[in-house]
Amino acid sequence: MIAMTLAEIAEVVGGTVHGDPASESTVVTGGAFVDTRTPEADGLFVAIAGERVDGHDLAEQAIAAGAVAVLGSRPTTAPTVVVDDVVAALGALARHVHDSLTDLATYALTGSQGKTGTKDYLAAILEGDGPIVATRGNFNNEIGVPLTVLRAGADTKHLVVEMGARGIGHIAQLCRIAPPDVAAVVNVGTAHIGEFGSREAIAVAKGEIVEALTAEGTAVLNADDALVAAMAPRTTASVVTFGAGGDLRATEVSTDELGRPSFDLQWRGSGATVHLGQLGLHQVENALAAAAMALSGGLDLDAVADGLTDARPPSRWRMEVHERADGTVVVNDAYNANPESMAAALAVLDGIRERSGRRTIAVLGEMFELGEGAVEAHRAVGRTAARAGVDVLLTIGDMASRMAEAARAEAGWSGEAIVTAGHAEAVAWLRQNGSAGDVVLVKASRGAALERVAEAVLDEPMTDEPSDDTPAEGSRTP
């Protein structure tokens, strides 16, 4: 953030400074934060009154964690800027900081699916071009967006902002906090259609992002998605399209035996080859959206292609592919699990088995918080694993053993089910029975910490913590 005194902050947000007489001249130099577990040094703690915890009661903790002051709706034990509406004040402060950073290029993106994936690709591309600030994890709502903006400082060159919407007007509001120079709509799907009523209504909401552009800006639109392509008349900015028939196209699209796409980027008569490190053809759409945004921001095609090829997105442990020197592949999806994502991951494993003929091993642990239906949900995953033809289903823990039980009962499955009690036993089995070329999927709910199994199989530490994708206040779907 740019350095500001509490008196200056109070003026910008229309608040008053409370605390000892020195408080007015206290200087905030760090960013802002709402969670005392992820503080910003010399930052501003934003006190939100939640359902379970009232941030105002955490002021001491926030100061101990590194904050120099609090933004809240009532005085606290720390120097505090008091306002009527904390979220509105946070937005106003972010806009002020954004407007002070006159050299900053702001890239905003929305869509029904793939926002975070696109954001991660764009950040990976732009990183090679100077200091960037990008949305962490899924911080894409009226709290997450200003927190992202407030991490930017005088030396920041590119700001990448993921924007989510639950209704009409939400994206417009987020664009008032971080007015974009380049704005993209990745797609319009049916995710959370209940909140909007129809796909057309979702398009109205998502298209607000291009309405926010000035004539100097660039709107990046998906040529393959009719509702997105139809947003072009809603902006005065230049329009760049991606997809078949678009300004930026992917040709020669193929996948390797694991399902990682390769393609040629075609842009204004030039081409460059991309090999993505992530699984699934849907990544091509996200990569194209990110590439079109970076090209609109002035990067050259080779830098864009290299950035995509080298991208190792920071949203970790989600279908993350690792290859051991002997060819063993570990797909680390230990970030989280529910019945749908288990089925999706097993379908990917099935595809790899079919394409490559390799032995597949699904190492699965418990899915938490399923309530009364838990046993049946675990049994269903076991049946899905058997139908996906996994060669080995290795379960960890009591609840997950129901998967093994159900798989064994599935007629026609020729695989093997191994039940283990915990990590150590599972790792021991894998070390003893694994062979070069195996493809090992590792997945369970976050609390089961199965990344440690992935780590042990790879014999390398999973050093990077995943970004917290499930903050109480920072994110919103879709």
Ligand X SMILES: Nc1ncnc2c1ncn2[C@@H]1O[C@H](COP(=O)(O)OP(=O)(O)OP(=O)(O)O)[C@@H](O)[C@H]1O
**340 SS3 class:** helix
Which residue ranges make up the site for Mg ion (CB under 5 A)? Answer: 115-116, 138
Name the one residue in this structure whose structure tokens are 């409370």: 18
> Considering the complex, what minimum distance in angstroms separates the CB of residue 414 from ligand X?
29
Closest CA to 232 of 271, 191, 203: 203
Chain residue at closest Cβ approach to Mg ion: 116
Nearer to ligand X, 184 or 219 (CB): 184
Nearer to ligand X, 80 or 116 (CB): 116
> Considering the complex, what minimum distance in angstroms separates the CB of residue 285 from ligand X?
4
Nearer to ligand X, 2 or 191 (CB): 191
> Considering the complex, what minimum distance in angstroms separates the CB of residue 115 from ligand X?
3
Distance CA 166, CA 436 (A): 47
Nearer to Mg ion, 138 or 222 (CB): 138
> Considering the complex, what minimum distance in angstroms separates the CB of residue 248 from Mg ion?
22
> Binding partner of residue 30 among Mg ion, ligand X, none, CB under 5 to 8 Å per kind?
none
Half-sphere exposure of 24 (CA within 13 A, CB side): 4
**322 SS3 class:** strand
Nearer to ligand X, 61 or 477 (CB): 477
For 249, 320, 333, 471, the CA distances from 148, given in Å and listed in that order, are: 30, 25, 26, 14
> Binding partner of residue 222 among ligand X, Mg ion, none, CB under 5 to 8 Å per kind?
none
> Considering the complex, what minimum distance in angstroms separates the CB of residue 167 from ligand X?
14
> Binding partner of residue 322 among Mg ion, ligand X, none, CB under 5 to 8 Å per kind?
none
> Considering the complex, what minimum distance in angstroms separates the CB of residue 316 from ligand X?
12
Nearer to ligand X, 140 or 360 (CB): 140
Nearer to ligand X, 415 or 474 (CB): 474
For residues 33 and 46, the answer to whether their CB atoms sit within 8 Å is yes
> Binding partner of residue 173 among Mg ion, ligand X, none, CB under 5 to 8 Å per kind?
none
> Binding partner of residue 114 among ligand X, Mg ion, none, CB under 5 to 8 Å per kind?
ligand X
According to DSSP, the β-strands at 105-110 and 182-185 are: parallel
For 410, 422, 437, the CA distances from 330, given in Å and listed in that order, are: 26, 19, 10
> Binding partner of residue 262 among ligand X, Mg ion, none, CB under 5 to 8 Å per kind?
none
Give the DSSP H or E segment for 310: helix 301-310
Q: Within its chain, how far is the Cα of 25 from the centroid?
A: 37
Distance CA 281, CA 261 (A): 6
For residues 435 and 326, the answer to whether their CB atoms sit within 8 Å is no
Chain residue at closest Cβ approach to ligand X: 114
Which residue ranges make up the site for ligand X (CB under 6 A)? Answer: 111, 113-117, 138, 140, 164, 187, 282, 285-286, 477-478
Distance CA 347, CA 339 (A): 12
Strand extents, DSSP E, 315-400: 320-323, 329-332, 360-364, 392-396
> Considering the complex, what minimum distance in angstroms separates the CB of residue 137 from Mg ion?
8
